[in-house]
Amino acid sequence: MTFVPTDRGPDTAALTRLACLPHVPLGHYPTPVEELSRFREALGGGPRLLVKRDDAIPFGFGGNKVRKLQYVLAEALAAGADTLVTCGSVQSNHARATIAAARRHGLHPVLVANGAPPDRPTANALLDHLMGAEIHYVPGRADRAPGMAAHAARLRAEGRHPWIIPLGASTPLGAMGYVHAMTELLDQIPAPDVIVHACSSGGTQAGLLAGATLHAIRTRVIGISADDPSGEVSDAIRRTITGMGPLLGLDGDALAAACRIDVRDAFVGEGYGIPTEASQEAQKLA
């Protein structure tokens, strides 16, 4: 089926297919939408500012990865996996959420983490240890994917059934979590003019863009890169949206062409996980 952008309303057929995709419930929804009144006042008024509190998802300490994991975990369980293999930084939120999801469903979690092993694990690294994850450290980000493949091969040789979940669970199937999130948001408030969010692996933005397109709304979705150049992130988002098309009964290339991908990389600062003075000030204002 070819996707043709239209002003005639939502693509109900594609949204129905989304509702039928298998997923494993993690947490409770909808997450609340709250006013950022103090932040708005600090900026001198202007547009109404709202925040959707996906950090408050009551599973694995929340965060956007939980929505995506609901779909990729269902796929892993259907395939008979007994082990989840994923990757991230030493303090990865995605890793923490994936390990929690694995433990909830009786699977063995394996993490390939880039960075030095901490002498005394804290924060997410401590939680990963407390949840009993098998953790392997690699020098850099480029070593993560080969590391996952190597450990998956080892596990198969040992008679296990591993399932690899890429960084951020940002697969076409995982991104469906944020198509659903867009539907959820539109049940709570009128279509916003702009959605601004942090992005890295691109799955969240792919889902939001596809969701906006399927609902035939004109909401702009702006991703603020946490690490990579905007061109690289945009390419990853485009590939993910293209892969989402067939899952929704649509032509993937046409769906991607209908989505306006907008990624900004001017706020990366010194790198991933290193807060800038401006970001710290914004947190105080909010």
- Residue range 241-265: mean pLDDT, rounded: 98
- Catalytic center residues: 92
Annotated domain spans of the chain: 12-62+171-285, 81-160
* Distance, first Cα to last Cα, the chain: 44
Q: Which helix (H) or strand (E) holds 246?
A: helix 230-247
Q: Does domain 12-62+171-285 have CATH number 3.40.50.1100?
A: yes
At the top level of CATH, which class does the domain 81-160 belong to?
Answer: alpha beta
Helices 230-247/203-214 angle, 10° precision: 50
Say which range, 88-92, 130-134, 278-282, has the weakest mean pLDDT. Answer: 278-282
Whether the CB-CB separation of 214 and 221 falls below 8 Å is answered with no
Q: Is 198 helix (H, G, I), strand (E, B) or coil?
A: strand
Query: What is the tens place of the pLDDT at every residue in 229-240?
Result: 999 999 999 999
The reported pLDDT for the residue numbered 285 is 82
CA angle 238, 203, 58 (to 5 degrees): 165
> pLDDT confidence of 7, banded at 50, 70, 90?
low
Same CATH topology for 12-62+171-285 and 81-160? yes
Confidence (pTM)? 0.94
Phi, psi of 65 (to 5 degrees): -65, -25
